[in-house]
């Protein structure tokens, strides 16, 4: 299992930036619930497609779709903020 930290969230699109154990950043889309920045997730290793994860501090399960793997952190933050109109 891989541990992830939620780095950035776009609540309008339910897109998240996640940092994995190795420090890599991934862009994912979540169905529900949308975790807040700072949340800790546990799930399958990063790979394109739908994966099952758990919000560790809440014990809630969620499905995420990995959209982009091993991204530049600033580029992902900019992308998520731009879609919010910031």
Report pLDDT digits (tens) over 43-55.
999 999 999 999 9
Domains of the chain (ranges; CATH) run: 2-82 (2.40.50.650)
Over residues 31-58, mean pLDDT? 92
- pLDDT higher than 60, residue 86: no
Q: Worst-scoring range by mean pLDDT, 19-23, 47-51, 76-80? A: 76-80
Question: What does the pLDDT read at residue 77?
Answer: 87
DSSP-assigned states of every residue in the chain: -EEEEEEEEETTTTEEEEEETTS-EEEEEE-S--PPTT-EEEESPP-SEEEEEEETTTTEEEEEEEEEEEE-HHHHHHHHHHTTT-
């Amino acid at each position: 299992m891989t541990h992830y930290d939620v780095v950035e969230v776009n609540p309008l699109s339910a897109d998240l930036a996640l940092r994995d154990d190795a420090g890599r950043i991934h862009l994912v889309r979540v169905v529900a619930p949308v975790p807040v920045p700072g949340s800790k997730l546990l799930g399958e290793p990063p790979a394109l497609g739908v994966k099952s994860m758990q919000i560790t501090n809440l014990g809630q399960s969620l499905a995420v779709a990995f959209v982009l793997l091993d991204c530049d952190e600033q580029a992902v933050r900019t992308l998520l903020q731009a879609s919010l109109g910031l």
